[in-house]
Structure 1
Amino acid sequence: MPENIFPLDSSKKFTEQEKLGHNRWHPEIPPVATVKPGDSFRVDCREWFDGAIKNDDSAQDILDAPLLTVHTLSGPFAVEGAKPGDLLIVDILDVGPIPQEEGPLAGQGWGYTGIFATRNGGGFLTEQFPDAYKAIWDFSGQVATSRHVPGVSYTGLIHPGLMGTAPSAALLAKWNQREGALIATDPDRVPPLALPPEAEHAILGGLDRGEWGRVGGEAARTAPPRENGGNQDIKNLSKGTRVFYPVFVDGANLSLGDLHFSQGDGEITFCGAIEMGGFVDLRVDLIKGGMDTYGVSENAIFIPGNVDPQYSEWIAFSGTSVTLGGEQRYLDSHLSYQRACLHAIDYLTKFGYAPEQAYLLLGSAPIEGRLSGVVDIPNSCSTVYIPTAIFDFDVRPSAAGPYQIDPGMGAPKASA
């Protein structure tokens, strides 16, 4: 096993650990450890809410989830010799739940998926699903099952939802300017258009505490993906993946977290993956001057591993750029993927699932989302593919009609 350079004690909160991580992006957050090109090492990761979500049959914790505190990131890790303009190579050697532990923390043999209430961030389909729900998933090896979404089991494609390098001061200022300008167009919107810096709940690693107020007032929230990678929620960044990140500061200052046992393309409920804590084994290297050499200045590129679940049969649903009210939009791929997901949800309800159970399934199962047509004006066509083998029954249309499942207790809903 590689040396664990960021161990976490499951009996302690994230802020009480021997090494303190962070939950904001800022170039002044100092590294917690330094590694050399070619080094392999292990990093423990806490799930993104640091234990706030419980393994129970209530969704009140999802409704009250402390979004101002996320994400609980491990790092930063400096890479010796890394300079702005380089490409940082990150190989994901292994990734999994908290090893050989059972307990109250997500990752100790279980994980969770949530539908966020609109007032607490919402989700991809928040207009149709404005309330908070939760599903708990139990792990057996690589397979997840849920008492809240019966009739399905699937193999997890385990991955870190969030990984990235530190921004430079100039890049951070660019983020704050453009996101602030977006917020200003509708400052009272619920959910908000973007998340501005917020100092009170900022965790800034080993930075001198006297600087936390100033830096927290500048530091970027970790919710969105940006030029440094960040919260991309790409389900294929799993074991065997090689990622190339642009370097903006000396040392690169790599951070990661937000581990997922499984996730569908889009993580459509926002807390749509099966969230968990666990570990990641990494190896790092550098391509000197690689940003210019390969034209990688504002994005990460990656070569996915080959550990995807082996599903060969699918049932797929399409959607176009027409609103539920019948309004035509021009090549709106965001809308067409929403409509494809809603068609899939409507279909699954014919088998006995409640709409929120179907929505939770689409967020966490290894579905594939595709832009199938983006040139045929006025309609973009998006599709969502669901592997048929995840169901305990035949989900295909037939003359006999849909099989009727027992929906069980259903997904817990929070009281408003």
Structure 2
Amino acid sequence: MPEVVFPLDSQKKFTEQRIVGHNRWHPDIPALVQVKPGDVFRVHCREWFDGAIHNDDSADDILNAPLNQVHVLSGPIAVQGAEPGDLLIVDILDVGPIPQEDSGPLAGQGWGYTGVFATRNGGGFLTEQFPDAYKVIWDFRGQTATSRHIPGVSFTGIVHPGLMGTAPSHELLRTWNAREAALIATDPDRVPPLALPPNPDGAILGNLRGEEFDRVAAEAARTAPPRENGGNQDIKNLTKGSRVFYPVFVEGAKLSMGDLHFSQGDGEITFCGAIEMGGFMDLHVDLIKGGMETYGVSENAIFMPGNVDPRYDQWLAFSGTSVTLDGEQRYLDSHLSYQRACLHAIDYLQKFGYSDIQAYMILGAAPIEGRLSGVVDIPNSCSTVYIPTAIFDFDVRPSATGPHKIDPGQGVPVAKA
């Protein structure tokens, strides 16, 4: 096993660990761990809510989740010799649930969860249709996930980090905060909000204390969105065997990671989506000096996908166009067309006995494929959702005999907003 450079004790909270990570982006958060180019090492990661979500049949914990405290990230990790303008090479050698802990109260100890936030807490991709809080528990057996809340479904996980990235420079951080503040100002009372401004409440900043903590907490960016440094990209193919090339904006690069997923559908459409868990990552790092200029990577990482995707070879695909539910035509709105494709898939799965929220949760957690299939044919963009047929315990394809009817069981726990 590689050396564990960022250990986490499952008996302690994230803020009580020997090395404390962070949940904001800021260049002045100290790197308490240092590695060298060429090193191979292991990092432990805590589930993004640090144990606030429980393995039970209530969604109250999703409704009341401590949103100001996410994401709890392992890092920053400094890479010796990394300088602004370099490319940081990160190889994901292995990634998985919490090692040797197949039962326990933390997500990653043999189980994980998928949630939908209430609209006031951020909602999800389909928040207009699903405005309340919901939760599904998934049990792990090897690489397979099943759920007592969604019968008749099992699938192979495609384990990956939802969030990984380098620290921003002071200039880049100011750019983030200015452009997101301008967006918020266009509709400051919107629910859910258009963006999340810096918020000192709940900030975790490594070993910073006192006035320095207060200064950084007031400036630091929330970790919710993807940005130029990588961040919360939620790319399901960023799995074992992936090589990522991150732009370096500060000395040492200051690499951080977390928000591990056992599985996810393209788009993580349920928002508290995928199958959230804690676990570990085995990484190798190296540098391409001056690589940002050499390869034209001035912002946003590029990557080579991993080689351990589930080998599903038969799919049922649903398409959607950029027309609203009440018939309004929109111009090449790919966001809307993907929503419509997802809603068509949900309508279809309900014919087999699933509730609408059970079908929505399947799309968020199972390794579905989402594609922009047409973005030039005015006025309609076309998006598609591909569902692997083998994840169901019955034949989900259309036939002359009609849909097989399943027993939906106890259903998905809900907490009314």
TM-score range, shorter chain: over 0.9
* TM-score (ref. length: structure 1): 0.99
Counterpart residue identity of residue 205, structure 1 = G
Match of 1:412 in 2: 413
Q: How does 1:119-138 map to 2 (within 5 A)?
A: 119-138=120-139
Aligned to 1:55: 55
Pairing 1:368–2:369 present: yes
How is 1:182-221 mapped onto 2 (pairs within 5 angstroms)? 182-221=183-222
Alignment of 1:10-409 (within 5 A): 10-101=10-101, 102-409=103-410
Shift of 1:302: 0.1
Distance in 2 between residues matched to 1:140 and 1:176, nearest whole Å: 43
Q: Work out the number of aligned pairs and report it.
A: 416
Deviations 1:72-94 (Å, cap 9, x if unpaired)? 00000000000000000000000
**What is the rounded CA distance, in whole Å, between the counterparts of 2:210 and 2:360 in structure 1?**
42
- Measure the CA separation in 2 of the matches of 1:334 and 1:148: 29
**Whole-Å separation in 1 of the counterparts to 2:127 and 2:42:** 37
What secondary structure sits across from 1:52 in the alignment? coil
2:226 counterpart letter in structure 1: P
Q: Alpha-carbon deviation of 1:208?
A: 3.4
**Which ranges in structure 1 are unaligned for 5 or more consecutive residues?**
none
Q: Is the 1:46–1:258 contact (alpha carbons within 8 Å) kept by the matching residues of 2? A: yes
Alpha-carbon deviations, 1:145-198, whole Å to 9, x = none?
A: 000011000000000000000000000000000000000000000000000000
Amino acid corresponding to residue 194 of structure 1 in structure 2 = A
Partners of 1:334 and 1:57 lie apart in 2 by 32
Amino acid at match of 1:210: E
Shift of 1:415: 3.3
Q: Please provide the CA RMSD for this pair.
A: 0.6
Deviation at 1:256, TM superposition (A): 0.2
Q: How many angstroms apart in 1 are the aligned matches of 2:260 and 2:344?
A: 29
- Uncovered stretches (5+) of structure 2, i.e. residues with no partner: none
- Give yes or no for contact 1:269–1:359 (8 Å, CA) kept in 2: yes
The Cα of 1:305 is off from its aligned counterpart by: 1.1
> Quick one: distance in 2 between partners of 1:174 and 1:331?
28
Counterpart CA distance in 2 for 1:333 and 1:415 is 30
Secondary structure at the aligned position of 1:220 is classed as coil
**Local SS of the residue matching 1:136:** strand
% identical aligned pairs = 81
After TM superposition, the structure 1 stretch with the greater mean CA deviation from structure 2, 338-347 or 202-211, is 202-211
Moved beyond 4 Å, runs of 4+: none
Q: State the shift of 1:326 in Å.
A: 0.2
CA distance in 1, matches of 2:416, 2:285: 46
